[in-house]
Chains A and B, each alone.
Chain A
Amino acid sequence: MHVQFANIVVFCVVGALFVILNVSVVSRILRPTVRDPEKYETYECGEPAIGSAWIRFDMRFYTIALVFVIFAVEVAFMYPWALVFKQLSAVGPFVFIEMVVFLLILAVGFIYAWAKGDLEWVRSIASQRGGPEGRSGSNPGNQTDSSERKNAA
């Protein structure tokens, strides 16, 4: 009775077989065998991996990633808008105004990140050691850490 699910079963089986065959059989036959220590590195791009990945990352990576996401989403919204802009702008300025409002709100966030110095990758050591109130919110993670370390010491 569940004939319509047969497609899915076949799909799953074929998919699993495809992966298993390719990874374990086909690649074994086709690949060249080069016994080179560099082949056993985590990243084969010339950058030697040092130490474990379980370390504390600089707060700035996350900030930059967040700022990037904001702009990625912005562009994702603007593509469909640009596609229909010409036809729909015949109705009135609404289409334009709507996007301007959206961009203005994003701009507030952008200006905020910029003015707080989150876009500068290289910063003076002084601003990082300025203590909790040294520079307004320029790098919350590091400041808290450094001040807590100071307290502990």
Chain B
Amino acid sequence: MLAATKQLDTKAFAEFVSGVGDSVAGFWPEIVLGITLCAVLLYDLVLSRERSKNTAYMAFGGTLLSLALVFMLPSEPRSLFSGMLALDSFSTFFKAVILIGTLVTVALTQLDKENIGARLGEYYGILLAAVLGMMLMASSTNMIMIYLAVELASLSSYVIVAHRRQSRIGSEASLKYAIYGSVASALMLYGISLLFGMTGSLSVMGLADLGIRMATDVGFGIAVGLVLAGLAYKMAAFPMHFWVPDVYQGAPTAVTAFLSVASKTAAFAILLRFMASLDPGSATGIKMADGGLFLDWTSILAVAAAVTMTLGNLAALFQTNIKRMLGYSSIAHAGYILMGVAALEVSDYAGFKAVAFYLLVYLFTNLGAFAVVIVVSNQVKSEEIEAYKGLGTRMWLPALLLTIFLFSLIGMPPTAGFTGKFLLFRAAIDKGLYWLAIMGGINTAVSVYYYMRILKFMYLEDSAEKTPYPAPCLLGKVLTVGLALPVLLLFFLGAAAGWTKNLSLLG
């Protein structure tokens, strides 16, 4: 033992230390977020809870600083902390999307304050922990790091879903989320351990060689499938989608909004990185013993996409609660986005561009829709779709803005949802996945029904009461209008699509 310690290579260690020093330079957004997290918790602990608004300012400020630091990150791709994380424009883009989502979530929480209840300091601490996990998800290139990041994000999400302690439906949602989630993460960990057993390496980049070498091995297919199942849970895709409606309905609306965009974005970031190293474009997959292709990744993902969107849309048709309906709509959108992942072509990045752009659009659209739900429920005190009757005259601004968000969710011009769906469908068609594009088209047509039903309630049906509600508070107005603007602008701004074109992946 002593002899072994004597032989420690201090020179190699000195190199390692300087490597860590360099890595810290690319890690400042996460460090700032971590410090803010601790500061919020301690502030809430030491000072009284009457100043919980200050913790909101602290969380907002810390996230804003972190976002600014993300934009100042060095642009040349490199690896951080000896291959644990990647610093590339891909991870930077997704981190920015997650942080913007967090900023809006903090504001939504203040809007929904009466509903969420006391102890907001703890709420923001847990929220920031989830964000930290999601930012690590966006940049992990090591499978253990991926697992840790997913767990950090998941565990924080379970707690924050149950933040309304008196709400039975919230506790039920959190319990279901935690139990299903632990099964999903166990599956993923099992897949990771199988992959580690096959390669002896935990690096995601190492999968590419393995995919070619082990392609005939069914075990390899199972291992990858298990990891994909764990990720499908986080992005609410078939076959791990069943937690979505209960959790979306039971969680505080601000938390639902956060989970529906940030969690999904982070999971798709990992999925893209994972699938890119398997290179589905080069016809890899589970092969039969004679070398013939049994199932390739493209078809597996395409089938998952088709089933996910169909399931989500069909179930959404019959919902009476708007949060539950948006939950099923979120499953359907996971399906549309998976369409882009199925069309992933490492050589030209078309699938990347479409997925990244759609996630950006979905961020603003879905947060906007939930912001309107909060504004309405603050006045109407209900989240049932029935309660939206006659809202077009009684609350004209939220109703108008909700129309914009729903148009974007359908994918109608002139909203960004159209551009996003256009890119996804084009990626699928370019790849030759015509049947998938047709499925997507049929599904979009089906989805028109349940989105339009809300519009019908708002504008065509009259409620017994005719007097207009008081105008929403300033924060509500600023938030909803502020989220509607990018939804409209991203349609007109073709440049934004060009911005996501230059995403490059490390390794």
A residues with a Cβ closer than 8 A to B are 83-84, 87-88, 90-92, 94, 105, 108, 111-112, 115-116, 132-133, 136-137, 140, 143-144, 147
Contact = CB atoms under 8 A, between A and B. Distances in A.
A108 B38 contact: yes
B49 A136 contact: yes
Interface of B: 5-6, 8, 10, 13-14, 17, 20-21, 34, 38, 41-42, 45-46, 49, 118-119, 122, 165-166, 171
B119 A87 contact: no
A111 B14 contact: no
Contact of B166 (A90, A105, A132, A136): A132
Nearest to A147: B166
Given A83-B5, A87-B8, A112 B41 contact: yes
A140 B10 contact: no
A93 to B, nearest CB: 10
A47 B49 CA distance: 44
B42 A133 contact: no
A105 B119 CA distance: 21
Contacts of B46: 115
B10 A94 contact: no
A151 to B, nearest CB: 9
User: Secondary structure of the A side of the interface?
Assistant: helix
Given A88-B10, A91-B17, A136 B119 contact: yes
Nearest to A114: B45
B10 A90 contact: yes
16 contacts: A84-B5, A84-B8, A87-B5, A87-B6, A87-B10, A91-B13, A91-B14, A92-B14, A92-B17, A105-B34, A108-B42, A116-B45, A136-B49, A137-B119, A137-B122, A144-B165
Nearest to A137: B119
Shortest 9 CB-CB contacts between residues of A and residues of B? A94-B17, A91-B14, A108-B38, A115-B45, A87-B8, A144-B165, A88-B13, A91-B13, A91-B17
A91 B122 CA distance: 40
Nearest to B48: A136
A9 B444 CA distance: 58
A140 B17 CA distance: 43
B35 to A, nearest CB: 10
B41 A108 contact: yes
Contact of A111 (B8, B42, B118): B42
A35 to B, nearest CB: 46
A115 to B, nearest CB: 5
A132 B166 CA distance: 8
A105 B38 contact: yes
Nearest to B46: A115
Contacts of B38: 105, 108
Contacts of B5: 83-84, 87
Contacts of A108: 38, 41-42
B118 A94 contact: no
Contacts of A105: 34, 38
B459 to A, nearest CB: 40
A144 B119 CA distance: 15
A100 to B, nearest CB: 14
